[in-house]
């Protein structure tokens, strides 16, 4: 099974909701960072990719029909070239709310401590290399820098991917633009909304935000 959908959007842009939506549509299993959390052995191949080593994309995505979120979003250009028939979805949200969400979730001290605890493991090193250092140069907490990186990434995706192959998408738009883009009928079900900030923090044993 070759990838038919490539997600180019950063984490905290509705990627887990998109994963659920794509699987509901029947695109196939969708690769997401949660796959690596559940299967730490997956991280080794991504660490190798981050180091510039050879990558067997078909092996990484064996059994998957789509991918969203990091780490794959950092390699959207390579994946778009390798899977020329795949469509690309750039998930977006307001820059300010995106930054605030990252600070309360994936870049929070709680998650940072967990990454430090996993520093000797492939998945800890992978997250550092691809996201913290490779994407944000260690400046993920600096609002001006982080937002600049986020917005530059989104502009680059628009420049690199042909318009007819790209959907710039806010998951708040629901089924209609997604189904039109992929050629699927709109399901008779609500669009999934998962992994809110509170849900994320509860997964790590933290208290919900006020």
φ and ψ of 24, to 5 deg = -65, -35
Model confidence, pTM: 0.90
Beta-strand runs (E) in 61-158: 66-67, 87-91
Q: What percent of the chain has pLDDT over 90?
A: 79
pLDDT band at 112 (very low <50, low <70, confident <90, very high): low
Percent of the chain whose pLDDT exceeds 70: 86
* Number of domains making up the chain: 1
| Domain membership flag for residue 209 | no
210 part of a folded domain: no
Assigned domain for 174 exists: yes
CATH value at residue 116: 3.40.50.300
* Residue with more model confidence, 166 or 119: 166
Give the model's pLDDT for residue 110.
65
Domain holding 83, by residue range, is 5-203
pLDDT tens, residue by residue, 27-68: 999 999 999 988 989 999 999 999 999 999 999 999 999 999
In 3D space, the residue among 181, 184, 25, 28 whose CA is nearest the CA of residue 91 turns out to be: 181
Rg of the chain on CA atoms, in Å: 16
Angle subtended by helix axes 15-25 and 175-182, to nearest 10: 50
> Is it the case that residue 117 has pLDDT exceeding 90?
no
- Map tokens 């930054």 to a residue: 99
- Is residue 208 in some structural domain? no
């Amino acid at each position: 099974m070759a990838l038919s959908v490539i997600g180019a959007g950063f984490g905290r842009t509705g990627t887990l909701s998109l994963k659920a939506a794509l699987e509901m549509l029947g695109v196939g299993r969708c690769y997401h960072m949660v796959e690596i959390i559940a299967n730490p052995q997956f991280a080794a191949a991504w660490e190798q990719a981050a180091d510039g080593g050879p990558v067997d994309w078909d092996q990484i995505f064996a059994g998957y029909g789509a991918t969203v979120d990091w780490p794959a979003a950092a390699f959207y250009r390579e994946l778009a070239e390798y899977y020329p028939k795949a469509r690309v979805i750039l998930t977006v949200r307001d820059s300010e709310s995106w930054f605030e969400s990252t600070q309360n979730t994936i870049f929070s001290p709680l998650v940072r401590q967990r990454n430090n605890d996993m520093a000797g493991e492939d998945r800890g090193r992978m997250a550092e290399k691809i996201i913290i250092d490779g994407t944000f140069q260690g400046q993920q907490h600096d609002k001006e820098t982080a937002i600049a990186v986020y917005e530059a990434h989104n502009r680059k995706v628009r420049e690199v991917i042909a318009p007819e192959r790209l959907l710039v998408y806010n998951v708040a738009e629901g089924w209609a633009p997604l189904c039109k883009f992929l050629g699927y009928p709109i399901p008779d079900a609500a669009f999934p909304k998962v992994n809110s900030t509170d849900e994320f923090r509860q997964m790590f044993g933290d208290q919900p935000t006020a």
